[in-house]
Structure 1
Amino acid sequence: MEHPLYVAFIWHMHQPDYRDPVTGLLRLPWVRLHAAKDYLHMAEVLSQYPDVHATVNFAPILVEQLMAYTSGRAEDYIMYLSRQTAWTEEERAYIRNLGFSAHRENMIRPHPPYWDLLQRHEAAPDDLDVFTDQEYRDILAWFQLAWTDPNRLQGDEALRRLVEKGRGFTIEDLAQIIDRHREMCAQVIPLYRKLADRGQIELTTSPYAHPILPLLIDTTHAQRATPGLPVPEPPFRAPEDALAHLQMAQEKHERVFGHHPAGLWPSEGAVSQEAVEQIAAAGFRWLASDEAILGRCLGRWFERDLQEAVTTPDLLYQPYIVMIDNQPGPAIIFRDHALSDRIGFTYQHIPGEQAAEDLIVRLQIIRRRLPDSRPHLVPIILDGENCWEGYEHNGDIFLHSLYRRLSESQDLRAVTVSEYLEMNPPHNALARVTTGSWINGDLTTWMGDPEHIRAWSLLRDTRAFLVDYEASHPDLPADARERAWQSIYAAEGSDWFWWYSQRNTSDQDALFDELFRNHLANVYRALDQPTPESLMEPIVARGKRLDQIRVQHRYLTPKLQADPDPTREWREALHVQAMASSGAMQQAGHGLRAMRVAYDADHVYIRLETIEPLQALRLEVRIRGKEGHEHRIVWTPGSEAALLGEQRLHTALGDRILEMAIPLSAVGVRLGDRLQVQGCAMHDDRETNRVPTHHPLELTLTPLEETPDQQAP
């Protein structure tokens, strides 16, 4: 019997808790802006294709903020600034820093007045007086208009009039944009409920504040995937908090969406056997993670052929049962990492119709290679809001083309996860789930760097203080107890630790650091106790880390092929982003997007990722060795290779990717030395941006054993 190939899209919607625990003001506007541009749009497109079913995962902390906007209780800092007639120097710096955090080509260039403001901003990035008060208001207006679904900008008469106006926006104009955004926030939850009620989507959840469950249970568990990884001493251990986040997620989901969620996307796909046991105890029937986790469970990596198709598809494209105490536990599925990343990162660089056709062809190849003896499921799981600014027309063309092709296909069927499991229960079991996440199959994004250690230690000590205080004050008022624990749960969210990672940095590092420490300080405020000095000291300073020395855990020799989707070796490399806008996947809209750096015994490898096509930029990599001499590696448009002086380096070029291999001897360093690296983009002989922004990346070329990856089974 021939079966269609079942495809399960899981769109994960998540933003961190931007609410200041003291003032209630949302320090960043990304919940509102993604609602105006993405959350509502995704549902509106899907609703036009009733035969295409999907799973949509809403993190509870995002839902809370959405509902606060809907009720009028939430105000973000951009809304606050939009009501003012003039701004302080600090406020103008904030507007300049955030007001151009939009895709340069797709969201700024199409609007000439906004583009003109960007050019002036880039020409004088440190001169706050380059703009008049009226022009600062125009930046605020355009920033919020650009982060609105382009279909709304065209179809809403009031918004279309403002786009046509272009300049000289008034406070009333800004209020009108914000009112429209609130209206769109109010439509998000009802539309998703409607799609769920008619059976087209399955709504699922994540742990309440989006924590990394294995680390909440025991931070030493990070060493399972990465032996020797630094962790706090004593460890952070709070398995009861992991269960609390799961139970709160269930309760929040049931109140908002009207039903008990069957499925869970663990934050960042992070799992462990202990976490799965907690998930089962909370009543979830299925969960999902990444193919790297399944590979480690089975003792093998999933290899791909020249077409990037998995060579053992029968193992990956099926659900499994997780055994708990020799009894069947919840079902678990594992995402196809390559297909998911194609939507998240690769397809935005090609026309939408072509991208949709490519995905359909790849799914058909998978179907032809699978046996017909039983059905199979291909899980495609990714952030549902973060990639669309890079697509033409906000992803409209790609999504419509993809959903139309799926609707017409006889060989492919898009289903919800629960639909598939009801028709095809798992046949195979996993005796134990290994520990890791969807990023490199480990937990090093949230543990191991000096900033991680300090942040987890502060969280551990604050939580211990709360537990001890509760025990010694049995008459503690319920509202004080609730406020204190709410702050602990908020501080346990994954996003703070994501930004503390030395692989991830942005111009908002200091803001995220302040929010994290404010949540912990609020525990002491709730108990009317003095705040420790340790919570007053930044974990990161603006533009500079506590410890700029970066460490690599094994030799990495990435193959230079300039693929938009980084290979495994590049994903494990040190990763620095130029600037962040709305979260882990978001970037600024000009020059360099990010830089990745790796090394082996003979070379240092550098990958520059750009927003514009390479041919629009001149790129430099500036390297200093132990003697302090600066070496400049230069690539100019039209060149086939980057040059170090007159030496041509091994180079790979893509549309927006430049990769190079630099012999250690060519820059006067050897294993054991320290190296400083900084990327720079130039446009029309003018510097566009640097990565890192303020200080070079400094790493130690630690001699390492030439052994396979410790994570590899």
Structure 2
Amino acid sequence: MSESKNRLRVVFCWHMHQPYYKGPEHSDYHLPWVYLHGIKDYADMAAHLEHNPKSKAVVNFAPVLLEQIDDYAGQIKAWLEFGTLIRDPLLAALAGPGLPVDQDSRKELVSACLRANERRLIHRFKHYSRLADLASKVLEEDTLIPYLNDHFMVDLLVWYHLAWVGECVRLNDIRIRSLQSKGYGYDISDRRRLVELIGEELTRVTDRYRKLAENGQVELSVTPYAHPIVPLLMDIESTKEAMPYAEMPELKSYPGGEARARWHVRKGVDVFKKHFGFSPAGCWPSEGAVSEVTLKLLEEEGFLWAATGQQVLHNSLSVSNEGDHMPENWVHTPYRVREGGLNMFFRDDGLSDLIGFTYGDWHADDAVGDLINHLENIANACGDNPNAVVSIIMDGENAWEYYPHNGSYFLNAMYDRLSNHPRFELTTFSESLAQQTKPSPRLPKLVAGSWVYGTFSTWIGDHDKNRAWDMLGDAKVAYDQAVADGDFSAQQMEELERQLAICEGSDWFWWFGDYNPSGTVSDFESLFRRQLSHLYELLGINEPAYLGEVFTKGSGDPALGGVMKKSD
């Protein structure tokens, strides 16, 4: 037996996803997270793999994220070459040359420049910290806002973006070092240099990951186009497989759900192929949401593997009468479901949550040492399982804001020590399947669920989430009737299908509910209603009156602002 076969296979799967933040048609981006994560996390995560050539990972991209990155890169190019207005208020303010003059717009801009982790991004830089402290005091008293002159606004904008620059860019780009050294008094040429850098980094994102894939370091995978909860589109009653007493919306089934699910999968693959030049072998279904009919659809569409959360496997083994005698390493084995050929990988919730929620407060060497200790224990337990794979699956962008230096110390140490460890093999899902000495075992039943708690409770079952499903269902009924009765051109149908897809995304439902922060709930609630309204407009139908009314408000303070959830 080769040395490689004696090693425990470890797969890091980084899911890169941002919702569709742009308003209907050619309106502005409502939130800047695509380009900010682009210059920070998408850039850094590629760089750490490039700097550790023996390391490997799976990187999953949501298609709507790829499209938005492209859009930002194109807008910045048009601004640099022709002065075309950038359709993002924050980035446009940085680019200049002008700034908003009315008090409300200035207040919004100042508030936007404080949306960053205080400990890791704001207080790290003394100039930014001073500006932020002053800005916070001014926001407490609206009458002080007129005293914020253009010099203050420009310096705050520049420092906000400097703080969001990825660590690898920060260390290696002389423009960033020069701007940081200057400290204050930034002028229009400084602003232009910073926008140029942002455009360059966004333009490079997909090329860097494509090259990593070509070099065999990365396996690229995809999510259905607009990140919908596919099992709920196909059968909303699948909610009850893991939540038998869930409160359900009035909507009994999503009209034409299977066709819509297949559209999202095919459209997602098309966008993926446009950016990377090949078809992906694997799929991280949106939110790891799976059901038996979802897996059947993915297999029919040509996928070889998919992945979900640990609790889904636990629930499935339990109802299969195997829960009372599950082996110690039950989560570290890929499975096939019933007679299907698609292989399912299951997230190690404990290890994934340690990286997402705990190690950011540890010294990097201690954190990696702890991770290695856990993996060594797993290797001991999996000694008689030739198919053993540890699947560490998590958000590839939001955790690092809570680490020193954007997680650089941790990620570099982790890749270096694990790729050189004699007992581990960093690999990908497809490579691990190719190395199997026997087929994956079969599950007699899969209980529908997601990576969060093994249920769909994050997206349905709450009063406000259910209301959103009913609103979406109304829009789909209107869509089907209008398309059946109308005479839309091919171009109009393409626009209609895409607009419907945006409305079907999972992120709307994620944020609805009282337990989320009120500001974020308001952002997503208003944008959801606008997207539905625009769908009715494209159909030539008067929108329902309820779309003019706020239907959900938040008041919670969840971990990490709600962008990530612990698995239990």
Q: Which residue of 2 aligns with 1:408?
A: 420
* 1:15–1:61 Cα contact (<8 Å) kept: yes
What does 1:118-267 align with in structure 2 at a 5 Å threshold? 118-128=132-142, 129-130=144-145, 131-237=148-254, 238-267=257-286
Q: TM-score, normalised by structure 2?
A: 0.91
Q: Which residue of 1 aligns with 2:333?
A: 318
User: Are residue 270 (structure 1) and residue 289 (structure 2) matched?
Assistant: yes
Match of 1:285 among 278, 301, 304: 304
Letter in 2 for 1:318: T
Structure 1 residues 352 and 193: alpha-carbon distance in aligned structure 2, compared to 1, 3 A threshold: same
Q: Which residue of 2 aligns with 1:698?
A: none
CA distance in 2 between partners of 1:403 and 1:117 (Å): 36
Q: TM-score, normalised by structure 1?
A: 0.73
Q: Deviation of residue 300 (structure 1)?
A: 7.7
Structure 1 residues 265 and 463: alpha-carbon distance in aligned structure 2, compared to 1, 3 A threshold: same
Structure 1 residues 224 and 372: alpha-carbon distance in aligned structure 2, compared to 1, 3 A threshold: closer
SS of 1:356 mapped into structure 2? helix
* 1:352–1:392 Cα contact (<8 Å) kept: no
Q: Deviation of residue 63 (structure 1)?
A: 0.5
SS of 2:6 mapped into structure 1? coil
Match of 1:35 among 35, 38, 62: 38
Q: Deviation of residue 321 (structure 1)?
A: 1.0
Letter in 2 for 1:101: R
Structure 1 residues 336 and 419: alpha-carbon distance in aligned structure 2, compared to 1, 3 A threshold: same
Structure 1: stretches of 5+ with no match in the other structure: 302-309, 549-574, 587-595, 597-711
Q: Which residue of 2 aligns with 1:465?
A: 478
Q: Which residue of 2 aligns with 1:515?
A: 527
Q: Which residue of 2 aligns with 1:10?
A: 13
Q: Which residue of 2 aligns with 1:557?
A: none
Match of 2:491 among 454, 464, 479: 479
CA distance in 1 between partners of 2:333 and 2:452 (Å): 21
Letter in 2 for 1:251: D
Q: Which residue of 1 aligns with 2:121?
A: 107
* 1:8–1:377 Cα contact (<8 Å) kept: yes
Q: Deviation of residue 191 (structure 1)?
A: 0.8
Q: In terms of mean alpha carbon deviation, does 187-196 or 220-229 score higher?
A: 220-229
Match of 1:53 among 56, 65, 81: 56
Structure 1 residues 506 and 357: alpha-carbon distance in aligned structure 2, compared to 1, 3 A threshold: farther
Structure 1 residues 375 and 229: alpha-carbon distance in aligned structure 2, compared to 1, 3 A threshold: closer
Q: What does the per-residue CA deviation read over 1:138-175, in whole Å, with 9 as the maximum and x for residues that have no partner? A: 22211111100133234322222221222222344223
Larger RCO (CA within 8 A; separation ≥ 6): 2
Q: Deviation of residue 371 (structure 1)?
A: 2.8
* 1:452–1:500 Cα contact (<8 Å) kept: yes
CA distance in 2 between partners of 1:155 and 1:196 (Å): 24
Q: What does the per-residue CA deviation read over 1:552-586, in whole Å, with 9 as the maximum and x for residues that have no partner? A: xxxxxxxxxxxxxxxxxxxxxxx633884xx7239
Q: Deviation of residue 110 (structure 1)?
A: 2.1
Which has more strand, going by share of residues? 1
Structure 1 residues 499 and 87: alpha-carbon distance in aligned structure 2, compared to 1, 3 A threshold: farther
Letter in 2 for 1:11: W
Q: What does the per-residue CA deviation read over 1:455-507, in whole Å, with 9 as the maximum and x for residues that have no partner? A: 1111111111011011111x222222222221110011111111103332242
CA distance in 1 between partners of 2:240 and 2:515 (Å): 18
* 1:9–1:379 Cα contact (<8 Å) kept: yes
* 1:5–1:375 Cα contact (<8 Å) kept: no
Q: Which residue of 2 aligns with 1:654?
A: none
* 1:445–1:503 Cα contact (<8 Å) kept: no
CA distance in 1 between partners of 2:62 and 2:393 (Å): 14
Aligned residues: 544
Match of 2:515 among 503, 518, 523: 503
Which has more helix, going by share of residues? 2
Letter in 2 for 1:517: R
Letter in 2 for 1:453: N
Q: Deviation of residue 198 (structure 1)?
A: 1.2
CA distance in 2 between partners of 1:4 and 1:472 (Å): 61
* 1:13–1:385 Cα contact (<8 Å) kept: yes
Q: Which residue of 2 aligns with 1:353?
A: 365
Q: In terms of mean alpha carbon deviation, does 282-291 or 426-435 score higher?
A: 426-435
CA distance in 2 between partners of 1:359 and 1:273 (Å): 33
Q: Deviation of residue 426 (structure 1)?
A: 3.3
Structure 1 residues 346 and 311: alpha-carbon distance in aligned structure 2, compared to 1, 3 A threshold: farther
Letter in 2 for 1:518: R
SS of 2:220 mapped into structure 1? strand
* 2:114–2:160 Cα contact (<8 Å) kept: yes
- CA-based RMSD of the aligned residues comes to 2.3
Q: Deviation of residue 375 (structure 1)?
A: 4.0
Letter in 1 for 2:558: Q
Structure 1 residues 197 and 365: alpha-carbon distance in aligned structure 2, compared to 1, 3 A threshold: same
Q: Deviation of residue 106 (structure 1)?
A: 1.8
SS of 1:328 mapped into structure 2? coil
CA distance in 2 between partners of 1:272 and 1:32 (Å): 33
What does 1:353-392 align with in structure 2 at a 5 Å threshold? 353-372=365-384, 374-392=386-404
* 1:250–1:260 Cα contact (<8 Å) kept: yes
SS of 1:507 mapped into structure 2? helix
* 2:167–2:408 Cα contact (<8 Å) kept: no
CA distance in 2 between partners of 1:578 and 1:226 (Å): 24
What does 1:428-447 align with in structure 2 at a 5 Å threshold? 428-447=441-460
Q: Deviation of residue 181 (structure 1)?
A: 0.7
User: Are residue 26 (structure 1) and residue 38 (structure 2) matched?
Assistant: no
SS of 2:517 mapped into structure 1? coil
CA distance in 2 between partners of 1:311 and 1:351 (Å): 35
Structure 1 residues 373 and 166: alpha-carbon distance in aligned structure 2, compared to 1, 3 A threshold: closer
* 1:498–1:504 Cα contact (<8 Å) kept: no
SS of 1:287 mapped into structure 2? strand
CA distance in 2 between partners of 1:435 and 1:519 (Å): 28
* 2:329–2:378 Cα contact (<8 Å) kept: no
What does 1:65-84 align with in structure 2 at a 5 Å threshold? 65-72=68-75, 75-82=87-94, 83=96, 84=98
Letter in 1 for 2:18: Q
CA distance in 2 between partners of 1:5 and 1:311 (Å): 20
Match of 2:461 among 448, 451, 456: 448
Structure 2: stretches of 5+ with no match in the other structure: 79-85
* 2:387–2:440 Cα contact (<8 Å) kept: no
Identity over aligned pairs, percent: 35
CA distance in 2 between partners of 1:170 and 1:87 (Å): 18
Match of 1:329 among 323, 341, 363: 341
Structure 1 residues 96 and 223: alpha-carbon distance in aligned structure 2, compared to 1, 3 A threshold: farther
Letter in 1 for 2:60: N
What does 1:608-687 align with in structure 2 at a 5 Å threshold? none
Structure 1 residues 499 and 171: alpha-carbon distance in aligned structure 2, compared to 1, 3 A threshold: farther
CA distance in 2 between partners of 1:528 and 1:262 (Å): 40
